[in-house]
Amino acid sequence: MLQIKQYVKVTSLDEAYELNKKKSNVIIGGMHWLKMSSKSVGTVIDLSGLGLDEIVETESTFEIGCMVSLRQLETHEGLHAYTMGAMRDAVKDIVGIQLRNTATVGGSIFGRYGFSDVLTVFMALDASVVCYKAGEISLKEYAKKKADRDILVKLVIKKQPLRIAYLAQRHARTDFAMLTCAVCFADGMWRAVLGGRPEKAEMVMDEEKLLTNGISVTEAQAEAFGKYVAEQLEFGSNMRGSAEYRKEIAAVLVKRALLTAGGNA
Amino acid sequence: MRVVNKPLRKKDAMALVTGKPVYTGDMIDKNALVVKILHSPHANAMIEDINIAIAMKVPGIEAIYTYKDVPQKRFTMAGQTYPEPSPYDRLILDQHVRFHGDAVAIVAGENVKAVDKALKLIKVKYEILPAVDDFRTALDNPILVHPEDNWIAHCPVGADNKRNLCAQEVDENGNIESVFADCDIVLDRTYHTKANSQTPMETFRTYTYMDTYGRLNVLSSTQIVFHLRRILGQALDIPKSKIRVMKPRIGGGFGAKQTSVTEVFPAFVTWKTGKPAYIEFGRQESQTAGSPRHEMEMHVRIGAMKDGRIRGIDLHTLSNTGAYGEHGPTTVGLSGHKSIPLYNKYQEAYRFSYDVVYTNVQSAGAYRGYGATQGLFAVETIVNELAAELQMDPVALREMNIVREGDIMPAYYGEQTNACALDRCLKATAERMGWKEKYPCKDMGNGKIRSVGVAMAMQGSSISNCDIGGATIKLNDDGFYALTIGAADMGTGCDTILAQIAAEVMDCDYEDIIVYGADTDSSPYDSGSYASSTTYLTGNAVAKVCMQLRESIRKIGASIMKCAVEDTEFDGKKVYRIETKENEVNEVSLIDIATASMVNNNYETQFTATLSSPVSPPPFMVGMAEVEIDKETGEIRMIHYESTVDCGTPVNPNLARVQAEGGIAQGIGMALFENITYGKHGELFENSFMQYKIPTRQDVGRISVEFEASYEPTNVFGAKSIGEVVINTPAPAIVHAIHNATGLWVRELPVTPEKILKGIKEQGKKSNDFA
Amino acid sequence: MELKFILNEKNVVTEIEADSLLIDVVRDLGCLSVKRGCETSNCGLCTVFVEDKPVLSCSVLAARVEGQHVTTLEGLQEEAADFGAFIADQGAEQCGFCNPGFIMNAIAMFRENPHPDDEEILAYLSGNLCRCSGYEGQLRGIKAYLEFKDSQKGEA
């Protein structure tokens, strides 16, 4: 059973940062994972009084506060349009609406969970993370780092012309995915991000230049790229599938996402 | 029929949809002690030392009990008619703990936090023993799950604790080997089903307290109030007269609550301390220390001629009863007795044999279908494999071989089926599914294949010559009736259905019947809600008492009118003279009769009936599954499940339909999503809804249920049963559909996309086997 | 610590601990319709509204609802009976244990999307598990209710 000694709803990020220095303290998002643990927590730090639950869309960026819920990501029309529906596709099968109403994007990203659809799609968008002390770093980098006591304040997506599609392989519909996949074209190059391997999302760029026609992709090219991506990544076995199976369907998912996002969908 | 066969709202419906506090956990005294169990972390171990001293010091702790504090007489937790076929192999707490999750200590305290703290502070030293972790090597394994000398088997079920054997039998008719020798084709296959969990939404919960008379009162989420009274009497070693068991609204059972999973613990606490106590198993506890389905491995052989005549079936079932033997000797019998009889027409011989073994995993119990589900998976699949080998349409193969109305079924205790619409069920389902157009499969052109599969099922209606259905009906002033039953409505709506039967017989409105649920002090004896007995058997008991009350009402009316009973009739509202007489009172209203019955009256206005049945008429069902398979990923989606049920007369068509839909969803879960795997300490990995995936509403596709009613002559309104048969068709139907799409036979459940993809890759439609 | 919030339109002041969960607090305050069915946020039985949003009360720290509006089925009796009648007419309420969470979430859905198609209904309610009904009867009840609502508007 989770035990908590104190609850503090902070009035500033600085207050949160100071409290979070103590190892027995925890910043809470949706608290779903924390609640399942039998941790003994000193102080839970609630950021929900700091206005970090907003998605701010400007001409050039999306700024997504860490306390934005997965449901907000799902219903935001601007994000939906910009991501060609991929953001909604990424979160819509996560457990249920009730959970998505309280699970936060900050919690998902900070957790760097292997199964995370959220991490996968944001990484494909090449988002960056703004931390209280460390400032802005790319999500790719952030995901590789170990969790520390700094506060994830917001995610930033710099708008640019892109094509993106999201696919996940699930057996039971609202279960963890056996594999998550987002494929994105930006800055003249295709990139694929695969998570749930069961390890967390990792990006593979089309460095071999298998896709040479910009956003236009043929079936054969898509298949080749899919196989290529599957070769670049490590896959493992767990309750939901074997490494061999994941590798097989990785190629398939990448191919399909590519065809959806690309001009030959 | 006026009330029976009508889709009436359940009596408790509005209370449930408005969230009224009607469940066990809603009715507890605020001061009730919180009771929790310390669970064993080992598959097999002896408690060398258990130290509760520090735990007892936690403020708010009332008591902590260990194996040293409990009676030493073994009992069974199985809810069955006495003498129970299940072995007496339990103690409330045992020094020998036999599965990961077995009870080590009972902690009772003032609040959850104190109890949780104390649980962590109990110091246990275990002598870890080697465990029997594979049911295939359990029989005659030198490691014994129950080596103790005070283990008892009261009934001759072939049990032997020194062999890890809980039950064993061979049952045969004719000479199966010579029949097989004469067949054109004999298939030999093995199938494997797992220890699926019922997962009712309400976990196991029990509340106990002492009443004014110094008696132990038990309010529990249970299907078996009377059996529970006996179980607790034996467990606590106290007279049964000291115990009262009641049930409130129950949040689902499906057989899980046909074993006394939690009751013994707070009962012991209350008996010892005199204080009210409440236990609520969490989902994890319910998953790991509950009473799941028996894992079974079934070795089947089927012998047939080229033209499709099935002449013999030989089934051997190996059943895993887990660490304790509840329902072990009894579930296994259905694996053969409720599958083999389906193919009655040309059956010259059958053999059905079984071994039920102990292992060091969670004790299995009763789960809807009760062995039939497992057996039907095996038999229906081998029949489908046979159809494929013979290149015959599987529906046609069945039509040729099925039991028909009027047949005597040697494999079903020699019973004759006088109500059987199985043939019509096959025809109707095939038509509605579009079987001819869809069988075997259709390439959708987008990388997906759609295919169909079929399976049949039967079950029983109560346990013949054993189960008791009981009912009491009482006339009240104002002319309404009180119906008291001992059967337990666990959401199925049996309170409602029995009220419908009563209303039909009494010729009154459904609203004029109030139903009082199971209470061992005031209810007539009833075995309980299991074995699909309530509608059929308790229904007959209800009809019997109503007929008796009608007679009495007539007598009272006749005496008021000063005429002979034979000269009167009762139409539900009044007793009247058949031939009116001038200057005489020619009718008396029911209300006046009720009033008169309370003054200077010697005619009973309350009757109780007890009934058993010499037969257990099987309901029948046909299910067809349409699935869509992704050729590149193996992903499988349920598109549509079409089914037809012959439950005799559906007493309440709405409730019957929803029972079927619910059972089908559970069957889909068993086929596709629900897996059971263990770690090296015997810990169950699928110990939560996060890992044990019961179907969500997006997983089941469209489910469609219709009825082909036969008329069962041994039930007052022609009803049989529906409660269990409904879970039996999906697993074999889906496995069949998968074969029809891919050529693959999946013989171990659940099916996964990975298994399907592997099968597709291994190619070949004809000779592709994948276990 | 003290908690002040608005429960079913009534101001409430109560004592809680830092780790008190909303489900236990509302049940202690008499809202027994809120049920617990799991420990992993999967079943949806404990669904309540916080500021009109459906959330899992088993996973919300009570402290977090300070000053906020919390609604349980006890506060939506009329709507529950209105809609629930259509479920009852199907016999789909069955054991009833999943009903409060399911009906809460259904009410949230009706408010957000008065005309959902089948897919949308199933998706919105995917976080509400049921083991008794097979979900089909619940869908029939929902559609019958939506039709009824539409026909009422037509006549209004």
Question: Which of A252, A256, A259 to mutate against chain B (most B CBs within 10 Å)?
Answer: A252
The CATH code for residues B29-129+198-288 is 3.90.1170.50
The boundaries of every CATH 3.30.365.10 domain in chain B are 131-195+292-402, 412-459+616-771, 469-611
Q: Which residue of B has its CA nearest to A256?
A: B632
- Would residue A62 count as lying in a domain? yes
d(CA B623, CA B704): 10
For residue C38, pLDDT over 50 is answered with yes
- Tokens at C43, concatenated: 């079943």
CB contact under 8 A, A102 and C60: yes
Q: Which residue of B has its CA nearest to C94?
A: B491
Distance between A236 CA and the closest CA of chain B, angstroms: 14
Looking at residue B650, what is its pLDDT? 96
Q: What is the mean pLDDT of residues A156-180?
A: 97
Question: Which of A98, A99, A115, A174 to mutate against chain C (most C CBs within 10 Å)?
Answer: A98
User: Given pLDDT bands bounded at 50, 70 and 90, which one contains residue B769?
Assistant: very low
d(CA B175, CA B348): 8
Task: Domains for chain C: give ranges and CATH numbers.
Answer: 2-74 (3.10.20.30), 76-155 (1.10.150.120)
Pick B469-611's CATH classification: 3.40.50.1860, 3.90.1150.10, 3.30.365.10, 3.40.50.300.
3.30.365.10
Around B42, how many Cα atoms within 13 Å sit in the side-chain half-sphere?
Answer: 17
User: Given pLDDT bands bounded at 50, 70 and 90, which one contains residue C154?
Assistant: confident
d(CA B429, CA B87): 42
For residue A264, pLDDT over 60 is answered with no
Around B452, how many Cα atoms within 13 Å sit in the side-chain half-sphere?
Answer: 23
Total of domains in chain A: 3
Hey, what amino acid is at C119? E
- pTM beyond cutoff 0.95: yes
The CA radius of gyration of chain A, in Å to the nearest whole number, is 19
Average pLDDT, chain B: 96
Chain C contact set for B18 (CB, 8 A): 33, 73, 77, 80-81, 84
Q: Which residue of A has its CA nearest to B685?
A: A239
Q: Does domain B131-195+292-402 have CATH number 3.30.365.10?
A: yes
- Would residue A225 count as lying in a domain? yes
A154 and A177 assigned to the same domain: no
Around B50, how many Cα atoms within 13 Å sit in the side-chain half-sphere?
Answer: 26
- Would residue A50 count as lying in a domain? no
Q: What is the mean pLDDT of residues A147-161?
A: 97
For residue C156, pLDDT over 70 is answered with no
Looking at residue A220, what is its pLDDT? 95
Q: What is the pLDDT of residues B314-360, one digit of tens each?
A: 999 999 999 999 999 999 999 999 999 999 999 999 999 999 999 99
CB contact under 8 A, C127 and A96: yes
For residue C13, pLDDT over 60 is answered with yes
A137 and A224 assigned to the same domain: no
Q: Tell me which residues of chain A, numbers 234 to 263, contact chain B at a CB-CB cutoff of 8 Å.
A: 239, 241-242, 245, 248-249, 252-253
Q: What is the mean pLDDT of residues B236-248?
A: 97
Q: What is the mean pLDDT of residues A74-103?
A: 98
Tell me the CATH number at A124.
Answer: 3.30.465.10
Looking at residue B18, what is its pLDDT? 97
Counted across chains B and C, CB pairs separated by less than 8 A come out at 180
CB contact under 8 A, B18 and C80: yes
For residue B154, pLDDT over 60 is answered with yes
d(CA A99, CA B227): 41
CB contact under 8 A, C129 and B694: yes
A172 and A206 assigned to the same domain: yes
β-pair type (B216-220, B243-246): parallel
Q: Which residue of B has its CA nearest to C132?
A: B662
The beta strand positions in chain A, using DSSP E, are: 3-9, 26-28, 40-46, 55-57, 61-65, 128-131, 135-138, 152-158, 163-169, 179-186, 189-195, 202-205
- Would residue A49 count as lying in a domain? no
CB contact under 8 A, A97 and C126: yes
Distance between C50 CA and the closest CA of chain A, angstroms: 10
- Would residue A20 count as lying in a domain? yes
Q: Tell me which residues of chain A, numbers 50 to 79, contact chain B at a CB-CB cutoff of 8 Å.
A: none
Chain C contact set for B697 (CB, 8 A): 122, 125-126, 128, 130, 135, 138-139
The beta-carbon neighbor of C122 closest among B10, B26, B698 is B698
Chain C contact set for B529 (CB, 8 A): none
Is A30 in CB contact (< 8 Å) with chain C?
Answer: yes
Looking at residue A265, what is its pLDDT? 46
> Residue B600, class by beta-carbon neighbours within 10 Å (0-12 exposed, 13-18 middle, 19+ buried)?
exposed
Is B688 in CB contact (< 8 Å) with chain C?
Answer: yes
Q: Sign (positive/negative) of CA torsion B304, B428, C94, B493?
A: negative
User: Given pLDDT bands bounded at 50, 70 and 90, which one contains residue B762?
Assistant: confident
CB contact under 8 A, B493 and C91: yes
Is A169 in CB contact (< 8 Å) with chain B?
Answer: yes
CB contact under 8 A, B662 and C94: yes
Distance between C20 CA and the closest CA of chain A, angstroms: 9
A229 and A180 assigned to the same domain: yes
Q: What angle do CA C93, C88, C139 make, to 5 degrees?
A: 70
A63 and A115 assigned to the same domain: yes
- Would residue A228 count as lying in a domain? yes
Q: Which positions ≥6 away from B549 have C-beta within 8 Å?
A: B473, B475, B481, B506, B605, B606, B607
Hey, what amino acid is at C45? L
Q: Which residues of C touch A (CB under 8 A)?
A: 1, 17-19, 21, 39-42, 44, 47, 53-56, 58-61, 63-64, 66, 105, 108, 123-128
DSSP state of B111: S
Chain A contact set for B635 (CB, 8 A): 169, 171
CB contact under 8 A, B635 and A245: no
CB contact under 8 A, B665 and C91: no
- Would residue A169 count as lying in a domain? yes
> Residue B589, class by beta-carbon neighbours within 10 Å (0-12 exposed, 13-18 middle, 19+ buried)?
middle
For residue B94, pLDDT over 60 is answered with yes
The beta strand positions in B323-446, using DSSP E, are: 349-358, 408-409, 415-416, 441-443
Tell me the CATH number at A209.
Answer: 3.30.390.50
Subunits in contact with chain C (3 or more CB pairs closer than 8 Å): A, B
Nearest to B440 by CA among B672, B759, B736: B736
Q: What is the mean pLDDT of residues B398-403?
A: 97
Chain B contact set for A169 (CB, 8 A): 633, 635, 753
For residue B765, pLDDT over 60 is answered with no
The beta-carbon neighbor of B754 closest among A173, A241, A253 is A241
The CATH code for residues B412-459+616-771 is 3.30.365.10
Is the bond leading into B147 cis (omega within 30 degrees of zero)? no
Q: What is the pLDDT of residues A188-212, one digit of tens each?
A: 999 999 999 999 999 999 999 999 8
Q: Which positions ≥6 away from A144 have C-beta within 8 Å?
A: none
The beta-carbon neighbor of C55 closest among A92, A95, A98 is A98
Looking at residue C155, what is its pLDDT? 62
Chain A contact set for C126 (CB, 8 A): 93, 95-97, 173-174
Around A245, how many Cα atoms within 13 Å sit in the side-chain half-sphere?
Answer: 25
% of chain A residues with pLDDT over 90: 96
d(CA B432, CA B451): 15
CB contact under 8 A, A239 and B685: yes
Q: Which residue of B has its CA nearest to A241?
A: B754
Q: What is the ipTM of this complex?
A: 0.98
For residue A16, pLDDT over 90 is answered with yes
Q: Tell me which residues of chain B, numbers 14 to 33, contact chain C at a CB-CB cutoff of 8 Å.
A: 14-23, 26
Q: What is the mean pLDDT of residues B695-709?
A: 98
Q: Which residue of B has its CA nearest to C134?
A: B662
Domain extent at residue A204: 163-261
Q: Which residue of C has its CA nearest to B254?
A: C132
User: Given pLDDT bands bounded at 50, 70 and 90, which one contains residue B770?
Assistant: very low
Chain B contact set for C81 (CB, 8 A): 14, 17-18
The beta-carbon neighbor of A97 closest among C1, C19, C124 is C124
Q: Which residue of C has its CA nearest to A92?
A: C123
